[in-house]
A and B are shown apart, each in its own frame.
Chain A
Amino acid sequence: MNKQTKVWLVISIALSLLVLGSACGGGSTNKETNTPGTTADANATPYSGPTGTISGVISYNGTPPAPKKIDTTADPVCGQKNPNLTTDDTMVTNGKLANTFVYIKEGTVEGGKKVGDYSWPVPPTPIKLDQNGCHYAPHVLGIMVNQKISITNSDATQHNIHPTPKLNTEWNQTQANGAPPIEKTFGRAEVLIPVKCNQHPWMKAYIGVMKHPLYAVSAADGTFTIPNVPVGKYTVVAWREGQTPEEQPMEVTVTANGAAKADFAFPKAGAATSSTKPSLQMMPAIEFPMLGKH
């Protein structure tokens, strides 16, 4: 055996061991997971003072893009169950926008402590995410750090659930039809984690993971309510999906038993709708104006 053959043999064996090692390894684990049942450090105390609510309406500026028809021929089960499947990234009814994630980003509770300085009990009830008609329901959802998410498959076909977080652990798991729910947790706050199905690439959902329960998702009529907000001053942010997710902040003051208003409108006037990363669409020298999005 000459030297070159030996080198290649060593490379092949090393690669084999690496692949077999990763293939035999267990599923992904959330190494960043905190102690179950709490989202703050051990010294934090729960808030027990007066509270109010934040509510509002999300409006859509201008004419919303028409939903696009999805071609489900690659998996006949999808077409049979959901023959009129369309995109749901911009769901507008009477000028009101659904699926906007509204949350308290930061703020000071009356008394001077930050909202993040309190501990917030994690709800024992899992949040449900269902795959039904090759479509995620709900499309946008909120969950607390360490709260269980229960993912079910109501379709007669298999899906795979693949969250692609930046701060949490990425995982990808197949769920056959009739398989038991997949239960997972996310150990770090992250707004928002895209979820996709690699078998049906049109399937997308977003999960907002928060350290506190002070968040809501706008309903079909664009309304939302965040209850039990401690009295204080906050920065409330409304997040909407897109090529570049758009975020709008608003300063809100909550009084005891008061109902603070926080209305938002998307897209913000003059806001760029394309990627914040420069794309060649922005480069006049090689711009193709005929290439409007279809």
Chain B
Amino acid sequence: MNRGLNRFAIFVACATFFLIIAGALVTSNDAGLATPDWPLSNGQVFPKMVGNLFWEHGHRMVATTVGILTIVLTIFIFLKEKRSWVQKLGVFALLAVVAQGLLGGLTVKLMLPLAVSTAHATLAQLFFCTTVSLAVFTSRSWIEAKPLTEEKGNVPLRYLCTGALVTIFLQLILGATLRHSATWDRHLPVELILAHIGGAVAVTLMLGAASLSVLRRHPEMRFLTRPAIIALTLLAIQLCLGIAAYMTRLASPGDPQPLNPMIAITVAHVACGALVFVSTIVLTLRTYRVLPANEKSFLQDYRIGQDLHVNPE
């Protein structure tokens, strides 16, 4: 385990979270087409940052920084990390950030088609998930965790958590589609709002079941209970933010321009959604790490743990 690598992976994950907030600010301010060209902004590398160009070009600058950080992270991984699957994940992160940049350019050049903008927002969450996973896999707690005995008599927690994770991801896609289906001065499509509300109910049930099962079955395992409690807390905040975002967004078409609190609340809703997603990813990965579903996988996981102890750093 390399502490420097882990810290840098955490730093990249935090930068990615900041990038998601910057991207959400672009959408909420209706700044996506503040400049019609890409990769330059109005033909300049550093244009005058006034009006909505502040948000759009600011997003591009943060994205460029995250892209450079991801290149450095991938090189760092290849230098310090011996697990080949972690190296592959590093390469995946690099490819994802490149694809994300290209999708961002494509959505500007095509003038924000719903499919491309939604894909851009969805890939952002997947990239965030990747950087957080890299931070998890390079952490001491992950490497030193020891598998428990097989779970019996219940639905395995790893499956519950995976179910919650998939549900959250689908909900994120729905949310991205909803957000990009109408600008601030138009009403959102009812059918998408209803689907997103339905998704919120599904996420609450799935994540609630997964987290509460973790707390009930393994109350002594902080390795699992901590992400479960964080995920539940964030879910509660996210539901409140969702209602507030709906209310402010409902009123925004009557405003002369995108205004607070609509901007702040919708951006917070996007950011909190990303945090719910990654906290569930951490929970899910940890259940796979310490709660093997059957004897075969138990032994396999145990061998991985042994390998890690044999080849530290």
List residues 127-157 of chain A with CB under 8 A from any CB of chain B. 157
Interface-lining segment among B140-148, B203-211, B234-242, B245-253: B245-253
A74 touches B52 (CB 8 A): yes
**Assuming A15-B102, A288-B247, is B253 touching A243 (CB within 8 A)?**
yes
The complex places the Cα of A93 from the Cα of B34 at a distance, in Å, of 34
B99 touches A12 (CB 8 A): yes
B79 at the interface (CB under 8 A from A): no
State which of B42, B109, B256 has its C-beta within 8 Å of the C-beta of A23: B109
User: Chain A residues with Cβ under 8 A from B106's Cβ?
Assistant: 15, 18-19, 22
The complex places the Cα of A4 from the Cα of B87 at a distance, in Å, of 13
The complex places the Cα of A197 from the Cα of B307 at a distance, in Å, of 59
A280 touches B33 (CB 8 A): no
B273 at the interface (CB under 8 A from A): no
A192 to chain B, nearest CB (A): 15
List residues 217-260 of chain B with CB under 8 A from any CB of chain A. 246-247, 250-251, 253-259
A158 touches B42 (CB 8 A): yes
B92 touches A8 (CB 8 A): yes
List residues 14-56 of chain B with CB under 8 A from any CB of chain A. 29-39, 42, 48, 50-54
A29 to chain B, nearest CB (A): 15
CB-CB nearest in chain B for A77: B50
B190 at the interface (CB under 8 A from A): yes
User: Chain B residues with Cβ under 8 A from A261's Cβ?
Assistant: none
The complex places the Cα of A292 from the Cα of B250 at a distance, in Å, of 9
B284 to chain A, nearest CB (A): 21
User: Chain A residues with Cβ under 8 A from B111's Cβ?
Assistant: 170, 172
A-B pairs with beta carbons under 8 A, tally: 132
B110 touches A22 (CB 8 A): yes
The complex places the Cα of A202 from the Cα of B36 at a distance, in Å, of 18
Interface string of B102-118 (1 = CB under 8 A from A): 11011001110000000
**Assuming A19-B102, A158-B42, A170-B111, is B33 touching A74 (CB within 8 A)?**
no
B95 at the interface (CB under 8 A from A): yes
User: Chain A residues with Cβ under 8 A from B103's Cβ?
Assistant: 15
B126 to chain A, nearest CB (A): 13
CB-CB nearest in chain B for A69: B256
A116 to chain B, nearest CB (A): 31
The complex places the Cα of A251 from the Cα of B102 at a distance, in Å, of 53
The complex places the Cα of A16 from the Cα of B39 at a distance, in Å, of 12
Interface string of A17-31 (1 = CB under 8 A from B): 011001100000000
A160 touches B33 (CB 8 A): yes
Interface string of B185-202 (1 = CB under 8 A from A): 111111001000000000
CB-CB nearest in chain B for A164: B111
A75 at the interface (CB under 8 A from B): yes
List residues 201-259 of chain A with CB under 8 A from any CB of chain B. 201-202, 243
Q: Is the interface of B mostly helix, strand, loop or mixed?
A: loop
Interface-lining segment among A38-46, A53-61, A182-190, A271-279: A271-279
A294 touches B255 (CB 8 A): yes
B137 at the interface (CB under 8 A from A): no
CB-CB nearest in chain A for B30: A201
A71 at the interface (CB under 8 A from B): yes
List residues 61-108 of chain A with CB under 8 A from any CB of chain B. 68-71, 74-78, 86-87
B309 at the interface (CB under 8 A from A): no
List residues 121-145 of chain B with CB under 8 A from any CB of chain A. none
B277 at the interface (CB under 8 A from A): no
User: Chain B residues with Cβ under 8 A from A162's Cβ?
Assistant: 33, 36
The complex places the Cα of A162 from the Cα of B189 at a distance, in Å, of 23
A157 touches B51 (CB 8 A): yes
**Assuming A68-B255, A68-B256, is B250 touching A281 (CB within 8 A)?**
yes
B292 to chain A, nearest CB (A): 25
User: Chain B residues with Cβ under 8 A from A157's Cβ?
Assistant: 50-51
B288 at the interface (CB under 8 A from A): no
A279 touches B190 (CB 8 A): yes
A199 touches B52 (CB 8 A): yes
User: Chain B residues with Cβ under 8 A from A281's Cβ?
Assistant: 187, 250
The complex places the Cα of A99 from the Cα of B113 at a distance, in Å, of 31
A12 touches B98 (CB 8 A): yes
B8 at the interface (CB under 8 A from A): no
- For this complex, 5 residue pairs linking A to B, each with C-beta atoms less than 8 Å apart, are A8-B92, A16-B102, A23-B38, A75-B51, A243-B254
List B residues at the A interface (Cβ < 8 Å). 29-39, 42, 48, 50-54, 88, 91-92, 95, 98-99, 102-103, 105-106, 109-111, 184-190, 193, 246-247, 250-251, 253-259
Please give me the 6 A-B residue pairs with the lowest Cβ-Cβ distance, nearest first: A293-B254, A199-B51, A22-B109, A202-B257, A172-B36, A15-B102
List A residues at the B interface (Cβ < 8 Å). 2, 4-5, 8-9, 11-12, 15-16, 18-19, 22-23, 68-71, 74-78, 86-87, 157-158, 160, 162, 170, 172-174, 176, 198-202, 243, 274-275, 277-281, 283, 288, 291-294
Known: A15-B103, A275-B187, A294-B255. 18 other contacts (CB 8 A): A8-B92, A11-B95, A15-B106, A71-B257, A158-B42, A170-B111, A174-B36, A198-B31, A199-B53, A200-B51, A201-B31, A243-B254, A278-B190, A279-B188, A281-B250, A291-B247, A291-B251, A294-B254
